[in-house]
């Protein structure tokens, strides 16, 4: 993604965000859309909980740093896998107990399989 596209994906729905909170995350994610979307979702959850947008993004960056994610090499499968795993973990930590239970219920479905809407509605 271009830097402009990546910034839009990272900050979508967050309002005004200082560049000092954006640039480090663009760097650490390698502007990879999957990671940017996950971080955006986690930041929006923090904002709904009362945090400022810049504060939320800086907190997420600190959590990624603490987990050892300092840069993503999109060409390295191991680097991608680790970055996605840690970023999903950061997102899951923001779920309430009820939300986490709903998430775990969906884990019964196999990867890359179409799930009928009726089955999802039951969950």
Q: Spell out the domain ranges in the chain.
A: 3-96
Q: Is 72 exposed, middle or buried (0-12, 13-18, 19+ CB in 10 A)?
A: buried
Q: Is residue 72 pLDDT above 80, yes or no?
A: no
What is the model's pTM?
0.74
pLDDT value for 11? 96
pLDDT in tens, 39-61: 999 999 899 999 999 999 999 99
pLDDT, mean of residues 17-33: 89
Q: Which of the pair, 76 or 116, is modelled with greater confidence?
A: 116
Distance CA 5, CA 7 (A): 5
Which residue matches tokens 């840069």? Answer: 71
pLDDT value for 55? 94
């Amino acid at each position: 993604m271009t830097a402009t596209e990546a910034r839009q994906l990272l900050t979508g729905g967050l309002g005004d965000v200082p560049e000092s909170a954006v640039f480090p995350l663009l760097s650490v994610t390698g502007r990879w859309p999957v990671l940017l979307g996950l971080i955006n979702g986690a930041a929006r959850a923090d904002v709904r909980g009362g945090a400022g947008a810049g504060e939320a993004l800086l907190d997420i960056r600190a959590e990624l740093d603490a987990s050892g994610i300092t840069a993503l090499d999109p060409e390295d499968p191991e680097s991608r896998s680790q970055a996605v795993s840690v970023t999903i973990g950061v997102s899951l930590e923001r779920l309430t107990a009820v939300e986490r239970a709903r998430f775990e219920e969906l884990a019964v479905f196999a990867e890359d399989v179409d799930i009928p809407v009726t089955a999802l509605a039951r969950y």
